[in-house]
Amino acid sequence: MSASKDLHNNRRNYTKHELTEHKISPNPYEQFGWWLEDATNDGIIEPNAMTLSTATKEGKPSSRIVLLKAFDENGFIFYTNYHSRKGREISENNAASLLFFWDKLERQVRIEGTIGKIEVHLSEKYFSERPYESRLSAIVSEQSEEVPSREYLEDRLEEVKQQGEIKRPENWGGYILKAEYFEFWQGRASRLHDRIIYEMENGAWRIKRLAP
């Protein structure tokens, strides 16, 4: 069976919305909030799902989907294992990017900035609010490490259940990406898409339009 497939004719014409300078917010966080609300109201499954891209100190990139858990003008917060591949890469290179893609709305948002850990008490609070099984999994999983089998993880899960009190592992917690750049992309007809960017210059956001 051939593994090749020709996708040249897979096309879609984007016609649902437009993005113009006189309709956007001067604040990119507010603009993001509007679009996230649209995605939520439109019934998109997990509208807070985002592609997080990190890189080693040598610049070798990697990407994965994580869930945005909070945002404000201080940045965008997500949680993970600090010893995971992304955690290791963040520790040696704190430059990273986020990508949101909401296909039903024909929109995407790129956000670039630097990442650091959030305060411990915030990680403690969120961990305590997670479902019981999710807290167990955070303890059981040495994320990104090789394991011998699925059964090994399930056996570890049962062991942890017998331990009683469930505490946040020190190697699990939150990160915050502090944004320096936003790009809002709106699909338009005939591939003449709208691209509006916000760049921080001298302490203020400057808005520009890019060619599609």
Q: Hey, which residues are catalytic here?
A: 191
Distances (CA, A) of 18 to 23, 49, 95, 188, 196: 9, 23, 31, 7, 11
Q: Are the beta carbons of 170 and 81 closer than 8 angstroms? A: no
Strand, helix or coil at 192? Answer: coil
Backbone angles phi, psi at 168, to 5 degrees: -65, 130
Backbone angles phi, psi at 16, to 5 degrees: -80, -40
- Secondary structure (DSSP) of 36-97: HHHHHHTT-SSTTEEEEEEE-TT--EEEEEEE--EEETTEEEEEEETTSHHHHHHHH--EEE
Give the helix/strand (H/E) hosting 126.
helix 120-129
User: Which token pair is 67?
Assistant: 């869930």
- CA neighbor of 79 nearest in space, from 176, 157, 178, 169: 176
Strand, helix or coil at 114? Answer: strand
